[in-house]
Amino acid sequence: MSVSDNDTDRASGRGEIVLAAGLVGVGLYMLLSAQGIPVPPTDHGPGPRVFPYAVGAGLALVGLWLVVAVLRGDRAEAEAGEDIDLDTGTSWTTLGLLAAILVGYVLLLEPLGYLLATILFFGGVAWTLGSRNWRLLLLISIVLPLVVFLLFTRGLGIYVPNGLLQAVI
Amino acid sequence: MSTPTPPVVVLAHSPNQSAGAAFEAAVRQAGWRGARLVILNASTGESLVDPHHARPSDLADMTGRAGEAGVDAVVEQPIGPDVATIILDRADALGAELIVLATRHRSSIGKLIMGSTAQRVLMEADAEVLLVKDTDR
Amino acid sequence: MENFSLLLEGFQAALHPVYLLYAFLGVLVGTAVGVLPGIGPAMTVALLMPLTFSLDATGALIMFAGIYYGGMFGGSTTAILLNTPGEAASVMTAIEGNKMAKAGRGAAALATAALGSFVAGTIGTLLLTMLAPLLARWAIKLGPHDYFALMVLAFVTVSAVLGSSRARGLASLFVGLAIGLIGVDQLTGQSRFTFGLPHLADGIDVVIVAVALFAVGEALWVAAHLRRAPVELLTVRGRWFTRDDFRRSWAPWLRGTALGFPFGTIPAGGAEVPTMLSYAAERRLSKHKDEFGKGAIEGVAGPEAANNAAAAGVLVPLLTLGIPTSATAAILLVVFRQYGLQPGPALFANSGDLVWALLASLYIGNLMLLVLNLPLVGLWVKLLQIPRPYLYAGIMVFAALGSYIVNLSPIDVGLLFGIGLLGFVMRRYGWPVAPAIIGLILGPIAEGQLRRALQISQFDLGILVSSPFSIVVYVACAALILGPALAGVVGRSRRGSLTPAP
């Protein structure tokens, strides 16, 4: 909750143009690479290429439409919600930290096992979102993943690999 | 230190606790000292609905009652991750003479997890500190 | 009469203690999660999917019926007691409900919402029970080209008609369609857009994409824009329900039901439109016009009934045609497919027991909601006090777990987060998420139907408009696309500028 940009980027539409141009790029890529999808000689229908062509063309056209629309000043309202304050702008620090935690979680999930990785993950996310009561943070970060883990493995009988702690719990 | 401004009494207000008794004590203290009363309703802003965050109507009622007792009261509702720090910082900035806090009985588990705002303010504040016990129950 | 006895059999199955327990848990958890700030019904259903992985199909669907209705109801509770409505369908409830709560009539507002939901839900389920088998019997005659037409209609309505920006709706739809193409082509076995990665051969699991776009995208979006000052929670005060309240509520309940159910059955995005229409109707018909805007009970009763009747109506095309008409229904469709069930006319023939047990449990769930919710309002309100760091961290943990246990692969969790970031960006630029989900889920089905149709006709495109039904559907599509455009032109010339819908 520190830096906010007051969304000058949203107002200028630069970000959305990049996004829409990305759609055009993906659409063109689909059009080109759909030619490479092999068509088995036994196929008597329109084959596996037709839909990719259609979707690729659609993506490219809609992307172009959006680029033009945004350049001409068309802006949509960002999504509102009961727990959202759009006036303060986007906190990129929060988002960046969260992204780093997400990547870390994906990388650590297998080596550490579900329980340990999730404890770190939960604690990290909660801390990033502003929880500063250390004792409470520590307690919940351990108890909640543990309860979820036990609920799924013992309660619902679903196997969840537990890496380092496999032998313990 | 010859400032003509009146001294300041800070009331750390939280609607859940023995707020009534603390409020009355703060008004009495401010009256005796001829001080301005700053009602500080700090909350962490952690939950969408925070029981520590006082309703505007209740706060207006408090300033009204202080006014009837001849005490000039203002309300502040700062938000930050740690309530004790906010109280200490604001009291410092206002040059408060006295900080009034309510305490309540807590279970041992509650003590372990929650820490104590009152304890930190008591230990670290430069001003005098008045703790008011829960007398309602 | 035949349906009646089938329904009784359904009740026999659904009243089994274990299934009753599932229904109860579904209603309870659905309401609780629906109450939580920032979580709408679609996200509720998406998030809670992993809870049912170990249940049998009937049990899982019964639980989801409860979650579905519970999530709807949870939204209205917060709409009345907070100043900020959660989802579009509760906006109308919030207008009058909030004013009522402020005026000390919060209890009556909650009561009329709960009773209205019950009345509308029950009537809606009754209509569903009567209509669905008829429709299924008729739908069995539809050919692949008819289905393709229906799906085009669903694509058109969800992306171009609803929402404020057509270009953005279509962009979202095509993103979903493109993600749906990844994987092995089901008809020829050729892999498409898998980038040579074996992990992508089966495509990206729909559960992962749905949870990513709804839950992770939303959690990230909220995290980056946390409201800092707490909002004021209105207390539940006043008499629960007086005779006068009832006299003023019953007609709006019935009118709301009459509006909501048909709107749910057509692809018009679920409950948003009928709740607005119901509010407008009550406002015009009320004998207490002066109270509107200050807390008129009719303004809560009507829209709430419309909301729940639409929730039941949505199940008609979902069960009989396999066509979801709202984002929540799209996720329910995913639940069916998890169990290898394909909703559609064949569902009634092949899995009749299951469908009737599901329908029966809808009645039971509705009754449970009524019994549970009023006494538990205090508990639901407590949920709003959960500190947000823990709430959103919990959502992330649950979302990650749900995608992890599908294949026990961290790559899936990575995909979840990656697509979640896409969901964040879409929210930032006001791209609706629902079209992407509908495109993702219906895209592959639409492709299959199109190719089957063209295979039958040996590439004659004429087959697509060969039946009266498909022609009617395409005409409807054209009307939906051109209608608002024409109205827009007329409105613009009359008023100078168009005011965007809220």
ipTM score here? Answer: 0.89
Q: How do strand B73-76 and strand B98-102 relate by DSSP bridges?
A: unpaired
Inside any domain, residue C499? no
Q: Which of C82, C232, C385 lies nearest to residue B47, judging by beta carbons? A: C385
Q: What domain range includes position C42?
A: 2-493
C451/A66 touch (CB, cutoff 8 Å), yes or no: no
The interface residues of chain C toward chain B in range 424-453, judged by CB-CB distance below 8 A, are none
Q: Is C183 left (phi over 0), alpha (psi -120 to 50) or beta?
A: left
Please name the residue of chain B whose CA is at the shortest distance from the CA of residue A82: B48
Mean pLDDT for C63-79 is 84
Distance, CA of A161 to CA of A153 (rounded, Å): 9
C91-109 per-position pLDDT tens digit: 788 888 888 888 888 888 8
Least confident stretch, A16-20, A125-129, C213-217, C293-297: C293-297
Which residue, among C92, C64, C86, has the nearest Cα to C384 in the 3D structure? C86
Half-sphere exposure of C365 (CA within 13 A, CB side): 35
User: What distance in Å separates residue B47's CA from the closest CA in chain A?
Assistant: 9
What is the per-residue pLDDT for C268? 64
Distance, CA of C319 to CA of C362 (rounded, Å): 13
Contacts of C108 (CB under 8 A, 6+ apart): C100, C238, C239, C240, C241, C242, C245, C297
Contacts of B99 (CB under 8 A, 6+ apart): B9, B10, B11, B12, B87, B91, B121, B125, B127, B128, B129, B130
A84-104 per-position pLDDT tens digit: 777 777 788 888 999 999 999
In 3-state terms, what secondary structure has residue C226? strand
Mean pLDDT for A66-95 is 80
Length of chain A measured in residues: 169
User: Best-predicted range by mean pLDDT among A147-151, B117-121, C192-196, C201-205?
Assistant: A147-151
The interface residues of chain C toward chain A in range 415-474, judged by CB-CB distance below 8 A, are 417, 420-421, 424-425, 427-431, 443, 447, 450-452, 454-455, 458-459
Which 8-state DSSP code applies to residue A47?
Answer: -
Inside any domain, residue C500? no
Which pairs count as long-range contacts for C462-466, CB under 8 Å and 24+ apart, including other chains?
C463/C145, C464/C145, C464/C148, C464/C149, C465/C145, C466/C145
Residue A86's CB is within 10 A of a number of other CB atoms, namely: 15
Is C405:C142 a contact under the CB 8 Å cutoff? no
B49/C388 touch (CB, cutoff 8 Å), yes or no: no
* DSSP symbols for C426-470: HHHTT--SHHHHHHHHHHHHHHHHHHHHHHHHTS-GGGGG-SHHH
In 3-state terms, what secondary structure has residue C278? helix
C385/B56 touch (CB, cutoff 8 Å), yes or no: no
Could you tell me what percent of chain C has a pLDDT over 70? 92
Distance, CA of C389 to CA of C382 (rounded, Å): 16
C102-156 per-position pLDDT tens digit: 888 888 888 888 899 899 999 999 999 888 888 888 888 888 899 999 899 888 8
A135/B114 touch (CB, cutoff 8 Å), yes or no: yes
Mean pLDDT for C175-180 is 94
Q: When comparing pLDDT for B99 and A8, which is higher?
A: B99
C281-299 per-position pLDDT tens digit: 988 888 888 888 888 889 8
User: What distance in Å separates residue A83's CA from the closest CA in chain B?
Assistant: 7
Any CB–CB contact under 8 A between C195 and chain A? no
Residue whose token pair is 């051969």: C201
Contacts of A147 (CB under 8 A, 6+ apart): none
Could you tell me what percent of chain A has a pLDDT over 90? 43
Confidence of residue A2 (pLDDT cuts 50, 70, 90): very low
Mean pLDDT for C219-240 is 75
Confidence of residue C498 (pLDDT cuts 50, 70, 90): very low
Contacts of A36 (CB under 8 A, 6+ apart): none
B8-132 has which fold?
Answer: Rossmann fold (3.40.50)
Distance, CA of B51 to CA of B110 (rounded, Å): 17
Written as six digits, the tokens of C376 are: 């538990």
User: Would you give the distance in Å from CA C270 to the centre of its chain?
Assistant: 6
Exposure string for C184-204, b = 16+ CB within 10 A, e = fewer:
bbebbebbbbbeeeeebeebb
A62/C396 touch (CB, cutoff 8 Å), yes or no: no
Query: Domain limits of chain B?
Result: 8-132
What is the per-residue pLDDT for A25? 95
B78-96 per-position pLDDT tens digit: 887 778 888 899 888 888 8
B35-76 per-position pLDDT tens digit: 889 988 888 777 777 777 787 778 888 888 888 888 888 888
Residue to mutate among C174, C405, C413, C422, with most A CBs inside 10 A, is: C174
pLDDT of residue C229 exceeding 70: no
Chain A CB contacts of B44 below 8 Å: 130, 132
Inside any domain, residue C501? no
Is B40:B10 a contact under the CB 8 Å cutoff? yes
Confidence of residue C496 (pLDDT cuts 50, 70, 90): very low
pLDDT of residue A124 exceeding 70: yes
* Residue B128, phi then psi, degrees to nearest 5: -70, 150
pLDDT of residue A5 exceeding 60: no
Chain C CB contacts of A92 below 8 Å: 224
A: neighbours with 3+ CB pairs under 8 Å? B, C
pLDDT of residue A82 exceeding 80: no
Q: How do strand B128-132 and strand B8-12 relate by DSSP bridges?
A: unpaired
Is C332:C45 a contact under the CB 8 Å cutoff? yes
Chain B CB contacts of C393 below 8 Å: none
Is B43:C225 a contact under the CB 8 Å cutoff? no
C397/A145 touch (CB, cutoff 8 Å), yes or no: yes
The interface residues of chain A toward chain C in range 133-152, judged by CB-CB distance below 8 A, are 137, 140, 144-145, 148, 152
Helix, strand and coil content of chain A, in percent to the nearest 5, comes to 65, 0, 30
Helices A92-112 and C217-224 cross at an angle (nearest 10°) of: 140
E strands, A45-162, where?
A: none
Confidence of residue A7 (pLDDT cuts 50, 70, 90): low
Inside any domain, residue C188? yes
C450/A51 touch (CB, cutoff 8 Å), yes or no: yes
What is the per-residue pLDDT for B53? 79
User: What distance in Å separates residue B66's CA from the closest CA in chain A?
Assistant: 33
pLDDT of residue B114 exceeding 50: yes
Strand order through the sheet with B98-102: B73-76, B36-40, B8-12, B98-102, B128-132
Contacts of C169 (CB under 8 A, 6+ apart): C158, C159, C160, C162, C163, C431, C432, C435
Biggest distance spanned by C-alpha atoms of chain B: 48
pLDDT averaged over every residue in chain C: 84
What is the per-residue pLDDT for C493? 54
pLDDT averaged over every residue in chain B: 80
pLDDT of residue C235 exceeding 50: yes
Q: Which of A132, A135, A139 lies nearest to residue B82, judging by beta carbons? A: A132
Which 8-state DSSP code applies to residue A164?
Answer: G
pLDDT averaged over every residue in chain A: 84
Mean pLDDT for B113-129 is 79
Half-sphere exposure of C241 (CA within 13 A, CB side): 15
Q: When comparing pLDDT for A107 and C190, which is higher?
A: A107
Chain B CB contacts of C74 below 8 Å: none
Q: Which of C168, C389, C450 lies nearest to residue A129, judging by beta carbons? A: C389
Instruction: Print the SS3 string covering C73-137.
Output: HHHHHHHHHCCCCCCHHHHHHHHHHHHHHHCCCHHHHHHHHHHHHHHHHHHHHHHHHHHHHHHHH
Q: Which of A130, A135, A139 lies nearest to residue B46, judging by beta carbons? A: A130
Contacts of C249 (CB under 8 A, 6+ apart): C112, C115, C116, C297, C298, C301
Mean pLDDT for C402-425 is 91
User: What distance in Å separates residue A92's CA from the closest CA in chain C?
Assistant: 7
Chain C CB contacts of B51 below 8 Å: 385
The interface residues of chain A toward chain C in range 48-107, judged by CB-CB distance below 8 A, are 48, 50-52, 55-56, 58-59, 62-63, 65-66, 69, 74-79, 81-86, 88-92, 94-95, 98-99, 102-103, 105-107
H or E, element range at B130: strand B128-132
Which 8-state DSSP code applies to residue B51?
Answer: T
C10-51 per-position pLDDT tens digit: 888 888 898 999 999 999 988 888 888 777 778 888 888 877
Written as six digits, the tokens of B103 are: 């305490």
Least confident stretch, A55-64, B27-36, C170-179: B27-36
Q: Is C296 left (phi over 0), alpha (psi -120 to 50) or beta?
A: beta
- Count of domains in chain C? 1
pLDDT of residue B1 exceeding 90: no
C433-486 per-position pLDDT tens digit: 888 988 998 899 899 889 888 888 887 888 888 888 899 889 988 888 887 667
Is C182:C198 a contact under the CB 8 Å cutoff? no
Please name the residue of chain C whose CA is at the shortest distance from the CA of residue B57: C232
Residue whose token pair is 């082509």: C185
* DSSP symbols for A84-127: B-GGG--BHHHHHHHHHHHHHHHHHHHHH-HHHHHHHHHHHHHH
Distance, CA of C34 to CA of C20 (rounded, Å): 21
A85/C222 touch (CB, cutoff 8 Å), yes or no: no
